[in-house]
Chains A and B, each alone.
Chain A
Amino acid sequence: MSAINDIINKHTQDSESFQAIISAVNAIKKTELTFEHLVNISVVRNYTVDGIEPFICYHLYKSSINTNVKFEDYGVVTQHFLNPNSNLLQSKPEVILLSLLIENFALDFNSLQFNFDDCSNRLSELLSLIKSTTNALVILNTFLLPYHSAKGITNSNLLVDHAEKVMLLNLQIKKFARENAAQFFVVDFNLLAAKLGEEKTIDYRYLYMAKAPFKKDFLNAYAFEISKIIKAKKGKAKKCIVLDCDNTLWGGIVGEDGIDGIKLDNDSYPGKAFYDFQQNILNLYSRGVIITLCSKNNEADVFEVLEKHPHCLIKKHHLANWRVNWNDKASNIANMISEINIGLDSVVFVDDNPAECALVTATLPDVTTLQVPINSLFTYPNILLNNGYFDTLTLSDEDLQRTQMYQAETHRKEAQNTFTNLDEYLTSLEIVVNISNIKTSQIARVAQLTQKTNQFNLTTKRYTENDISNFVANENAAIFSLSVKDKFGDMGLAGVLIATKENEIASIDSLLLSCRILGRNIEIAFVQHCLVLLTKKWDIKTWKGNFVATKKNMQVNNFLEKFGFETLLETDSNKDYSCLSNNIKTQELKYITIQIDE
């Protein structure tokens, strides 16, 4: 638990009231605590939404993200984008929150003569204008459906149906965002309003007195949705679920109740709660989340349920790994996660037993532990969805194949045990490495890797798809992708090197590799080929590089030294390196076959 979360808990442990949130945020602002990330957000709005600032801070602070929320001048929204010298465009924020109310966007909206076509055209123009003038990640909102109908109950064609028009505009917003999925994200106001109800959504007093329509509950929910998007951008998405079995995947205890006695089906309670929970897990699996088990049980009993129970949706082939034994769960999880080779902070653990939850929380504080709400199982199915733990900005082919990759990794480890000599083992893998100048189809995956890779990452710069496209368009920059396969399977696009040049000097802007390919010197093969290729292509005399320390990337602390780079300047958190091109060291790696796509 971080010092930031300690302060938040101190203020909000009794209740998450407005005052508690404000005092937690103010207390944190007064400290000089170090955050892992920083995000600058500019708010462009056509109504008063300024009260959202503490809520945005609150939800981001919890994930160790510091933030500056800047409200642009109140006024005509398009002006901020039309004028290239506007404060907004000049300040180049990482995130723009565009918050619009329909009533202030189309002044005739409340009238039965509302000009829908004009409103829709202006909306299109505004969104296109934003797209063409900024590379910031933009968070839009849908318009709220009216709580009251101006035309009453009639279906007459003679009058405008405002609710229908709002739905059409909202579809237009969502479609635009989908077509520009790398840059535009939508918070659905109607989803929030449906959860909260009119009473907790609209403050009619301030709507009229200050053009500030939203109550604190709505602003809090809105800020939380915004924080989910920013957390995903900053690489905070969880990657793996560890599940207990009895009273977690099904009701009851398989060792006592037997496969026919456990509660799991699609039409009774609580069987359906467990069934729906499993369906949600499978949906996460389809989004690339790794599913594992950790249960105190007889392995045969558990797999009998998985393979033979008619309503058990989760099957053995969905699992990347498991520990079904009688050892303590904290050691089991630590050991299993190190085998999968991801950070413990990427893991969510679900168990019904408070003692097991407490043990894992105490021993592995980085793991997010969720206890099954055993006395209110109707809230259980959505437990993993409510908090956006697994939300990522984009999806790639690699996400959809992830479990096969981790299963192949387990087979590799098994094979390794049959060899005594490492070189023999590596040769037996038949590793083929493809090094390619980035292709358009790879941009999404490359951006995603920069957002998600924490351990083998030299500078930990996070990039959006737009940022990557800008590198591609820049003739003084190069991006190489690394794809790896061997006889056990295809590991997909698993590494990125970004370099820039100025005259005869080239710099390594970013270098990152997915941990699942490490331990085979593939990283050496990749980097030395990139260096040699670019030195020749760009006629480079000197290479520069740097290492930016984070909590998680100490394994690459000295990595550049393997290629002959020498330290120019060293501080606690940064090392600047340089190396003359003639002095670059390379090694021969006979067991790796290299293909180069230029």
Chain B
Amino acid sequence: MNNIELEQRIKKTMSVIFDTDIESINEQSSPETLEKWDSLGHMNLVVALEEEFNLQLTEEQMLQIMDYKMIVELLTKIV
């Protein structure tokens, strides 16, 4: 999977979970910019990313992905 495709899939997943347009997900996206990214939203995000990329995140990884950039950084490494 190339980076563009990976980022598109992350954006799509985030847009579904946080109920927003895919275009509005960008480098700055974080709990501060997305209203639905609260603790429940974060749990849903983890579940959705695990489903999307067919993997299981560790405790450390779950706590680490606290904004868009961190998600991309992590998934680039492990997908």
- Which residues of A come within 8 Å of B, CB atoms? 17-19, 22-23, 26, 48, 50-51, 205-206, 209-210, 212, 215-216
Contact = CB atoms under 8 A, between A and B. Distances in A.
Most buried by B among A18, A48, A210: A18
B44 A22 contact: yes
Contacts of A210: 39, 43
Interface string B6-30: 0000000100110100000000000
Question: Could you say which of A19, A26, A51, A212 has the most chain B C-beta atoms within 10 Å of its C-beta?
Answer: A19
Given A19-B48, A22-B48, A212 B43 contact: yes
Contacts of B16: 19, 22-23, 26
B17 A19 contact: yes
Nearest to B57: A205
Nearest to B56: A205
Given A22-B17, A22-B44, A51-B40, A209 B51 contact: no
Most chain A CB atoms below 10 A, which of B16, B19, B48, B59: B16
B56 to A, nearest CB: 9
B44 A205 contact: no
Contacts of B43: 51, 206, 210, 212
A22 B39 CA distance: 17
B52 interface: yes
Interface string B39-66: 1100110011001100000010010000
Contact of A205 (B17, B48, B51, B62): B62
Contacts of A209: 59, 62
Contact of B51 (A17, A48, A212): A17
Ranked 3 nearest A-B pairs via Cβ: A26-B19, A23-B16, A19-B16
A216 B39 contact: no
A19 B13 contact: yes
A26 to B, nearest CB: 5
Given A19-B17, A209-B59, A51 B51 contact: no
B51 A19 contact: yes
A216 B50 CA distance: 12
Contacts of B39: 210
Contacts of B19: 22, 26
Contacts of B44: 18, 22, 51
A206 to B, nearest CB: 6
Interface residues of B, number: 14
Interface of B: 13, 16-17, 19, 39-40, 43-44, 47-48, 51-52, 59, 62
15 contacts: A17-B51, A18-B44, A18-B51, A19-B17, A19-B51, A19-B52, A22-B16, A22-B19, A26-B16, A48-B40, A50-B40, A209-B59, A209-B62, A210-B39, A216-B47
Contacts of A206: 43
Contacts of A212: 43
Contacts of A50: 40
Contacts of B47: 18, 215-216
A205 B47 CA distance: 12
Given A18-B48, A19-B52, A51-B44, 19 more contacts: A18-B44, A18-B47, A18-B51, A19-B16, A19-B51, A22-B19, A22-B44, A22-B48, A23-B16, A26-B16, A48-B40, A51-B40, A51-B43, A206-B43, A209-B59, A210-B39, A210-B43, A212-B43, A216-B47
A443 B13 CA distance: 50
Contacts of B13: 19
A82 B30 CA distance: 41
A51 B17 CA distance: 12
A205 B39 CA distance: 14
A207 to B, nearest CB: 12
Nearest to A205: B59
Contacts of A22: 16-17, 19, 44, 48
Nearest to A23: B16
Contacts of A17: 51
Contacts of A215: 47
B2 to A, nearest CB: 21
A22 B16 CA distance: 7
A113 B52 CA distance: 44
Contacts of A23: 16
A354 B21 CA distance: 40
A18 to B, nearest CB: 5
A26 B47 CA distance: 17
A210 B44 CA distance: 12
A150 B59 CA distance: 26
Nearest to A29: B19
A581 to B, nearest CB: 56
Nearest to A215: B47
A66 to B, nearest CB: 18
Contacts of B52: 19
B75 to A, nearest CB: 15
A205 B13 CA distance: 21
A17 B17 CA distance: 12
A212 B13 CA distance: 22
A69 B44 CA distance: 17
A507 B70 CA distance: 64
A18 B53 CA distance: 13
A18 B43 CA distance: 12
A69 to B, nearest CB: 13
A50 B40 CA distance: 8
A310 B44 CA distance: 55
A53 to B, nearest CB: 9
Nearest to B36: A26
A205 B51 CA distance: 16
A460 B58 CA distance: 52
A17 B51 CA distance: 8
B45 to A, nearest CB: 11
A22 B74 CA distance: 24
Nearest to A203: B47
Nearest to A54: B44
Contacts of A48: 40
A206 B46 CA distance: 11
